[in-house]
Amino acid sequence: MYTSYYLHSFLLFLLFFSLTACAQKSVPQKKETTQENSSAKATIFQPKRMLASEDYDNIKVEKLHSDSLGSTFVIWVKKGVKAHRHLEHTEQVYILEGSGQMVIEQDTTYIHPGDWIVIPKGVVHAVTEVYGSRPLKVISIQTPEFLGKDRVFVEEKDLNKSAK
């Protein structure tokens, strides 16, 4: 009786171990799926596995998705981002890697992996410093679609002033 119990437990352990080993195999960074009878595609990204595709001096931007409702980018920052605001966009930034200092209107804050920052349209913001040798790696979501036309750079001296 005990022998069959232990054998059964051992077989369950092997099954569990093989399932977990399969689940940990490397998967692609991007996967597209198309729903039957539809031209729309859902895309699954794994930004933590994404690497900058080429060498860059300070900022590298790769578009992940864009449509009329919004745009999503993965952005690497080595040194900083000049003070600017968006006239028509809300920007949401999720910090994946690296750490640094960011100024949003009159507030200076330290940013770390896991931070989610919501920047309403018209709010002046900048990354003023990146700490360490690892660049910041962030996901930036802009709504509505970002075409690059509403970014207005401001003087550093105006960074701590309200930009309404």
**Average pLDDT of the chain, as a whole number:** 80
Other residues' Cβ atoms within 10 Å of the Cβ of residue 78: 16
**115 contacts 95 by C-beta, under 8 angstroms:** yes
Q: Would you list the domain boundaries of the chain?
A: 50-158
pLDDT digit string, tens, across residues 52-87: 877 899 999 999 999 999 999 999 999 999 999 999
Question: Could you tell me the pLDDT band of residue 38, with boundaries at 50, 70 and 90?
Answer: low
Q: What is the pTM of this model?
A: 0.73
pLDDT of 14 above 50: no
Write down the pLDDT at residue 114: 97
Say which amino acid occupies 33.
T
- CATH superfamily, with its number, for domain 50-158: Jelly Rolls (2.60.120.10)
pLDDT of 132 above 80: yes
Write down the pLDDT at residue 7: 41
Write down the pLDDT at residue 47: 74
Other residues' Cβ atoms within 10 Å of the Cβ of residue 55: 6
